[in-house]
Structure 1
Amino acid sequence: MKMQLAEQEKGLEVDKFNPELIRFQLDHWFGEAVRSAGPELASKVLEILHFDSWECGSQNWSSVFQVEFKKRRGYDLVDYLPVMAGIPVESADFSEKVLYDVRKTIADLVADNFYGTVAQIAKEYNVKLSSENVAPTMMSDALLHYKYVDYPGGEFWLKSPTHDKPFDMVDAISGGHIYGKDIIQAESFTALRMDWDEHPGNLKTTADRNYALGINRLFYHVFVHNPWTDRKPGMTLDDIGTFFQRDQTWWKPGKAWFDYCQRVQFQLQKGKPVIDLAVFIGEDFPSRSFVPDRLVPFIPNVFGAARLESEKIRLENEGQPTAKMPKEVTYSKNITDLSQWINPLNGYQYDSFNADVLINRAKLVKGKISFDGGIEYGALFFPGSHKMGPNTILSLASAEKILQLLKDGATIFVDEKPNLQPGIRSEADQNKWQNVIDEIWNNANLSTWKIGKGTVIKLPYLGNDFASLGITQDVYFPNLNRADSERLAWAHRKSESEDLYFLSNQKNEKRIFDASFRIAGKVPQWYNPVTDQTSALANWKIENGRTIVSITLDANESGFVIFKEETKEVLAKGNASEFEKVQVLDENWELQFDTTFKGPKGVVKTTKLFNWSTSENDQIKYYSGTVVYKKEFIWKGKDANKIWLDLGEIANMAEVSINGKDCGTLWTFPFKTDISQALQKGKNTIEIKVTNTWANKLIGDQKLPKEERLTWTTAPFRLEGEELLKAGLFGPVMILKEKNK
């Protein structure tokens, strides 16, 4: 259900506060679809009821609002209705308390009456409920509705800073975590303008960064139904989205990319996330999760000196020019960009949490705080006033739970003493609230104090880490500086049988480093989701309760360090592999272009590899699609064991076969593949199918009369004046022998 309407389509909108009307509306489209299909077919094909991003606007009244308000707040709102028109009643403070109760009631009804109702409907139809965010459009606690949702969802955009959704992502991830949802998804790679240069290789680091953030299922944006079989690229969503559909040039070889994503997601759906810290979003409305930059004032030294300086410059925003991305859209360079906040807490992960889980679910388990979602947090943070949340308010129920957690032994960080209990309350209630607040903040002039078995720590916290509190870094990189550590994205999950750490090199260069993991007594192994291969890690040691592993990652490479098999060993020293050049295959290739994509007829012979876009032949220069490279070579090696083919550089994907045997699809660094099983002594035939993107053909076709063009699309042409993209196989193409050092 996409809650977005074009101007000419706007009409009546269902009352989101009234369960009876919600059921009526759902029954007349969702229910009707099920009835039309019939129960047998529906049970086979219908699995998910999905609510996409909330784009229909907000709501502050309903035929049930007065009754719901009185039931939830304990008094009749009708007596104070002028405040909803901006007219104070009794006093400004009193009016603001009434308005708070109005906002809280709206937030409660969005969650309970709307999402609670559709969750029940989904259950009745035996399907799962999937939903993106309510905030920022609707007055809400941005996490609350996820308790009713089976599959929480966020949204991230590609090359579209003005439309990217960092808060949506952290809301969905935190909401999923605190309510114990095992699958957290994201609408992925939505783009404001398609450049037609997108391919798996340049999507990978964005996907990996969001996997590390906490996503473990992607919704690809966008696959548009294209009714034509003779128009390419064909129907698009105007120029919105990344082109994931059958007339994408790399759709068939792109299976290797989708396989990679499925393998990563399979691993990241195991067990539960390991998160050390949780931050309270507060009880004002609207409220959203904390993106990393909002935490800097409260734990400055955890972010490090360089980050404090860069944040000072960013927030002052003096002399910083605006930028354009995409080229038609201007944006401010000081906006929150999660790609610049990788591993921001230097080895710690955090969630945000709301009053609902604090009051109704929080408990102490072996010295840690649990919300019954499968994650145990070492400490809770209550930041007090902050950007977009300037009030220092705290409800009596929240304060009482904080006090109880402290007495039980929790570690809790607090900021300034709250001075306001939200909403209309009795004098007795107010006195009780004040007593609890005074008991918690009884030593607020100190930096830390004890209450019962627990510890209160005053914010801002000036430590560099949390080791002194018994919370050591989950992972860190001892031989990397802070800047380089912040280009390694990571996530940790734990099941009954294994711990797995996802690592992603966000740099476009090869890196060799040590990683120190907060685990001991198990053998580390490496799982490569590109190749689907698990291998031993040659060098590691266990000391001081940690395992330090030597890791090599190629440019943009990612994978999993998995701890499963128990060991009493504390040191492993082995020889890492190295590759020796055996043979170079750069010369004398035959190229076969696809004539249905307006490529040249016949075989194109070349003595050396070249960039198609530099050709003097326009049929090659502006070609988009797949080209088959072929050649024969003589293998003179003694054996074919551990023999690899390295393509050097390609643009953009390559399917390799030798002697008719599939040797894999290469789409990301390193562009090499094991050919041991395909290679034979003597004469061999190698075939490499290289595929580029649509950009060059679209640029070339724009120079031709419409009747001579290959391409047709509903996306506006916006590549005027753009340079052609590199395309083809560039090499050096080499046969390598794998050896141990």
Structure 2
Amino acid sequence: MKRFFSILIIALSLTHYSFAQTKTVWPVMEKQMKPWVRWWWMGSAVDEKNLSQNLATYQKAGIGGVEITPIYGAVGYESSYIDFLSPKWMKMLQFTVNKSNALGLGVDMNTGTGWPFGGPQIKPENAATKLITQKYSIKEGEKLSEPIKVKEAKQDLAKLQAVTAYGNDEILNLLSQVDANGNLNWSPSKGTYEIYAVFAGKTRQQVKRAAPGGEGFTLDHLDKNAVDTYLKRFDNAFANKPQGVRSFFNDSYEVYGATWTPTFLTVFKKNRGYDLSNYIKELTADDGDSETIKRVKSDYRETMNELLLNNFTKTWTNWAHQYKSLSKNQAHGSPGNLLDLYSAVDIPETETFGSSAFAIPGLRRNKEDVRNVNPDPMMSKFASSAAHTTGKKLVSSETFTWLTEHFKTSFSQCKPEAEQLFLSGVNHIFYHGTTNSPSAAVWPGWLFYASVQMNPTNSLWPQIDGLNNYIARCQSVLQAGKADNELLIYWPVYDVWNQAKGLDIALKVHDVDDWLHPTPFYKLATSLSKNGYAFDFASDNLLAQSTIANGFVKTSANASPYQTLIIPQCEMINLNTLNKVIAMANAGATVIFQELPKDVPGLNDLPLRRLQLKTALDKLNFITVESGIKQFKIGKGQILLANDIQKALQFKSIRREELTDSGLQFIRRNIAGGKYYFVVNHTANDIDSYLPINENGNVLLMDPQNGAYGLAATKVESGKTKVRLQLKSGESIILKITQEKSLITSAWRYLGKPANQLAFTQTWNLHFTAGGPELPADQKLGKLVSWTELYDNKVQSFSGTGVYTTTFNLPEKNAKEYVLNLNQVDESARVYINGQDVGILWSIPFQARVGKYLKVGANSIKIEVVNLMANRIRDMDIKKIKWRNYHEINFVDINYKDFDASKWSVMPSGLIGPVFITPYN
């Protein structure tokens, strides 16, 4: 009995030690660490039974939450539609929230249907507004022969807001001389005058992809009264009570042609200090006096920004807080300062659209399946910077929109795209998307036209937890602590606004070639990133509220401090911003100018402000301290002037992460007692080398692919820690560096020298277990090939699961590790060896360490492979089987043409290999 209790105590202590290790390695998994999904409610045709089944399916697969967005419905199901915000719809919302809570899922909700915000509560007077101008000419002694009334069709509610006459070197405001019938009671005493009439008209844009009960005009986002009117409908539906929604969501700003609001002239005069009515000629021109046109339009765009920020974004966020919910906003596409608009909400959200080109060997990227849009990590950093600089925990992303053509997206294609988001600071991925589909709907179920189809009907779904678990492990680390970036880079928004062309400038993810890529700011940021520097972007407003502590820039109470502020080459700078930057240096900050700014933006008091700018710059008495670097010491700090920013950073001993010289990319998080590094190999080469990091301490390696961990091999050279990293192309690793002695004692198992490969020479048995349209017959394979090449008419149209089994002999087991390599897998594989679950190999390089599963002598292996939906969809289109039948846009391909898969080539499917096991010593 005494021996029994001794054994029990030892067992309990080992259990406790194991738990302690686990607790200190991977953060406790919370629902927001898992991937969430944009959850399309087609026609809001939902019911409790299907909602319950679908939510349970999502939860089992590793989804952490759903984001409800109602849209148009499926044809033939009209009787099941539920009007948005009706009592029945609210009942379904509450059922969803309660069921999700029981399952440990979160619920977000779009504050609207389709996009952008709008609906039946938005009457024409509150609808999106545009500037309409009409031009007249009148000569000396003449009366205007026609009334000043809007000529554009369907603009009955357009309101005349200004009438400005230009002539004889004078500008006259004539609005007061226009009577109720539009007659102008004025004529020039001499000369000829051009008259500009300004109307507040309506864009007449309707909500796009609206759900039943959500149809109507788009909201005037620039008008607070209109925003309040819009939100009042939700107040009524919610009975002014919290609904249990974690966060309310707003999609990307796609309000087209909304260039005005009825209060624009009043707000402009208050904020810019002069009457815009006097500059209607410049506001509506693209040529002429370019200097004045640019300045007037810059002032116009700044005013647009303020109206959107104050009247919509802040108003909507405050409204969400009243319901004990957060706000989650996609600011991109807005005609404003993206950094401020992202910062004004609780969860800034970016999006990826299209696919990136990666150098990873074997990663499929067929030309016909790619949109001509490449996601740009610098675009994503606008959202992450807003979160990092204001101390917000989460940065989300609408992810994988049009990653490939429908039904052709593999998990292996998703992985590097998600990692690129992580590297840019995103830590909360939302799949775009998952369509709620009733169980009665025939395969492939209900689908949304722009989604990557993360649906349970997807043939890949049985193995989606491989991708989901990987993302969850990554996000558990990337949500820990605070962002750890040493540089703060000012974004010169006034250079963007100071353009003569057009009116508002919508800063879209699709148009970065126009407004972002050509700028010195972008070129500097990409260069710094490539060379191992970590940074966030700062707006004028952010700098205005920043403080200096111990020489570091503190942008908010909860944000990590920044070592250096960089002002990239820019033409325009706000005088207040320049003075603030100089004051920050005086208080102890290090500021680096790439070039001194040349001018101030805007039109009002221009000579005075230019003089003030010159005076401020003239006080910066720089001296040369090194070739290419000038210095001005001021107060406790200094200002450097250097065209080569990296040289200036080296001068100030601001260290870069040299591991990027190998091609690796990283992002860091600051945690109590240490740091996390998330490191990715997107190069074409395998890497096995000791690489330097800027943090000293004990280094733990953590594999987000399978959860494995161990102490890294390290060495110190010249006072710098170097870590041995062994990463194949396409792989990632997490480094946890702590100053305290780690509870983990086991070392990371590096692979040594490979021995001769063990080939699989036995016949493979292939058995199809699930999928359709029909299960092909069993096969015996002497050689692994795509199952579409087998002698069975059913295989070319089959999408589903095929199970491969065989045996192999291991003569002896004397290597330190054995690695299974599946090589080509189309598209994902779950492996079992000797009845033990090895795991899901869902991404390149399709390898796993299997030494612990092997035994001397005969071994069995089972590999469950799932392929794409593409071949089955192709077969349905060839046979003209009707499966896409939706209202509005119905279903389109990646180029927004009618979808037709009948001309596709058959996609390779199954385990193609070659499969082998490599011993490592």
- What aligned pairs does 1:172-251 form with structure 2 within 5 A after superposition? 172-191=383-402, 194-227=405-438, 229=440, 231-238=442-449, 240-251=450-461
- What aligned pairs does 1:247-646 form with structure 2 within 5 A after superposition? 247-284=457-494, 294-295=519-520, 344-361=529-546, 363-372=547-556, 374-385=559-570, 392-414=571-593, 415-420=595-600, 422-425=602-605, 432-440=612-620, 447-452=629-634, 453-461=636-644, 466-477=649-660, 480=662, 485=663, 488-520=664-696, 522-538=697-713, 540-566=714-740, 576-578=750-752, 584-594=759-769, 597-600=772-775, 602-632=777-807, 645-646=820-821
In the alignment, is residue 55 of structure 1 matched against residue 55 of structure 2? Answer: no
Tell me if structure 2 keeps the 8 A contact 1:383–1:459: no
The one-letter amino acid of 1:156's match is T
Inter-partner Cα distance in structure 2 for 1:55 and 1:507: 36
In the alignment, is residue 132 of structure 1 matched against residue 330 of structure 2? Answer: yes
The one-letter amino acid of 1:542's match is V
The superposition leaves residues 209-243 of structure 1 with CA deviations (integer Å, 9 ceiling, x where unpaired) of: 221121111111121233464533333223x2312
The superposition leaves residues 316-354 of structure 1 with CA deviations (integer Å, 9 ceiling, x where unpaired) of: xxxxxxxxxxxxxxxxxxxxxxxxx69743111232211
Inter-partner Cα distance in structure 2 for 1:400 and 1:591: 73
Aligned equivalent of 1:13, options 218, 221, 241: 218
In the alignment, is residue 158 of structure 1 matched against residue 354 of structure 2? Answer: yes
In the alignment, is residue 34 of structure 1 matched against residue 213 of structure 2? Answer: no
The superposition leaves residues 435-465 of structure 1 with CA deviations (integer Å, 9 ceiling, x where unpaired) of: 3232237679984121314333334227557
Inter-partner Cα distance in structure 2 for 1:687 and 1:635: 16
Aligned equivalent of 1:728, options 907, 910, 915: 910
The one-letter amino acid of 2:231's match is L
Structure 2 CA distance for partners of 1:229 and 1:80, relative to 1, 3 Å:
same
Inter-partner Cα distance in structure 1 for 2:253 and 2:607: 39
Structure 2 CA distance for partners of 1:437 and 1:423, relative to 1, 3 Å:
farther
| SS of aligned partner of 2:218 | coil
Aligned-residue offset at 1:355: 0.5
Aligned-residue offset at 1:276: 2.6
Aligned-residue offset at 1:196: 2.5
Tell me if structure 2 keeps the 8 A contact 1:235–1:714: no
Tell me if structure 2 keeps the 8 A contact 1:280–1:354: yes
Tell me if structure 2 keeps the 8 A contact 1:17–1:109: yes
Tell me if structure 1 keeps the 8 A contact 2:491–2:521: no
Tell me if structure 2 keeps the 8 A contact 1:593–1:599: no
The one-letter amino acid of 2:587's match is D
Structure 2 CA distance for partners of 1:558 and 1:342, relative to 1, 3 Å:
farther
Inter-partner Cα distance in structure 1 for 2:826 and 2:646: 47
Aligned-residue offset at 1:131: 0.6
Aligned-residue offset at 1:171: 1.9
Query: So what's the TM-score if we normalise by structure 2?
Result: 0.65
The superposition leaves residues 53-78 of structure 1 with CA deviations (integer Å, 9 ceiling, x where unpaired) of: 11112544334434434543455655
| SS of aligned partner of 1:155 | strand
The one-letter amino acid of 1:215's match is V
Aligned-residue offset at 1:150: 0.8
Query: So what's the TM-score if we normalise by structure 1?
Result: 0.80
Q: Which moved more, 1:585-594 or 1:442-451?
A: 442-451
Aligned-residue offset at 1:661: 3.8
Structure 2 CA distance for partners of 1:640 and 1:124, relative to 1, 3 Å:
farther
Inter-partner Cα distance in structure 2 for 1:293 and 1:519: 35
The one-letter amino acid of 1:369's match is V
The one-letter amino acid of 1:345's match is K
Structure 2 CA distance for partners of 1:618 and 1:182, relative to 1, 3 Å:
same
Structure 1 match to 2:175: none
Structure 1: any 5+ residue segments left out of the alignment? 304-340, 386-391
The superposition leaves residues 415-439 of structure 1 with CA deviations (integer Å, 9 ceiling, x where unpaired) of: 1443335342398766545432322
Aligned-residue offset at 1:593: 1.4
Aligned-residue offset at 1:600: 4.6
The one-letter amino acid of 2:432's match is H
Aligned-residue offset at 1:641: 9.3
The one-letter amino acid of 1:400's match is N
The one-letter amino acid of 2:906's match is L
Structure 2: any 5+ residue segments left out of the alignment? 1-109, 117-205, 356-369, 498-506, 893-897
The alignment covers a number of residue pairs equal to 669
RMSD, aligned CA: 3.9
The one-letter amino acid of 2:413's match is N
Inter-partner Cα distance in structure 2 for 1:548 and 1:582: 31
| SS of aligned partner of 2:331 | coil
Q: Which moved more, 1:490-499 or 1:445-454?
A: 445-454
Inter-partner Cα distance in structure 2 for 1:124 and 1:574: 49
Inter-partner Cα distance in structure 2 for 1:640 and 1:235: 51
Aligned-residue offset at 1:105: 2.1
Structure 2 match to 1:171: 382
The one-letter amino acid of 2:426's match is I
Structure 2 CA distance for partners of 1:642 and 1:55, relative to 1, 3 Å:
same
The one-letter amino acid of 1:627's match is G
Structure 2 CA distance for partners of 1:87 and 1:201, relative to 1, 3 Å:
closer
Inter-partner Cα distance in structure 2 for 1:12 and 1:574: 60
The superposition leaves residues 81-125 of structure 1 with CA deviations (integer Å, 9 ceiling, x where unpaired) of: 665455999x98677655543332221121122111011001000
The superposition leaves residues 526-558 of structure 1 with CA deviations (integer Å, 9 ceiling, x where unpaired) of: 1100101112223x2123342111211123001
Which structure has the larger Rg? 2
The one-letter amino acid of 1:651's match is D
Tell me if structure 2 keeps the 8 A contact 1:193–1:241: no
Aligned-residue offset at 1:473: 0.9
The one-letter amino acid of 2:457's match is D
Structure 2 CA distance for partners of 1:465 and 1:606, relative to 1, 3 Å:
farther
Aligned-residue offset at 1:621: 3.5
Tell me if structure 1 keeps the 8 A contact 2:710–2:747: no
The one-letter amino acid of 1:609's match is L
The one-letter amino acid of 2:326's match is K
The superposition leaves residues 474-520 of structure 1 with CA deviations (integer Å, 9 ceiling, x where unpaired) of: 34356x4xxxx2xx221111112221111111135532233211112
In the alignment, is residue 116 of structure 1 matched against residue 116 of structure 2? Answer: no
Q: Which moved more, 1:710-719 or 1:262-271?
A: 710-719
Tell me if structure 1 keeps the 8 A contact 2:600–2:609: no
The one-letter amino acid of 1:31's match is D
Q: Which moved more, 1:115-124 or 1:290-299?
A: 290-299
Q: Which moved more, 1:614-623 or 1:46-55?
A: 614-623
Inter-partner Cα distance in structure 1 for 2:884 and 2:800: 11
Aligned-residue offset at 1:614: 2.0
Inter-partner Cα distance in structure 2 for 1:172 and 1:197: 29
The one-letter amino acid of 1:396's match is L
Q: What percentage of residue pairs aligned between the two structures are identical?
A: 21
Inter-partner Cα distance in structure 2 for 1:11 and 1:107: 25
Aligned-residue offset at 1:172: 1.2
Inter-partner Cα distance in structure 2 for 1:132 and 1:441: 43
Inter-partner Cα distance in structure 1 for 2:543 and 2:309: 17
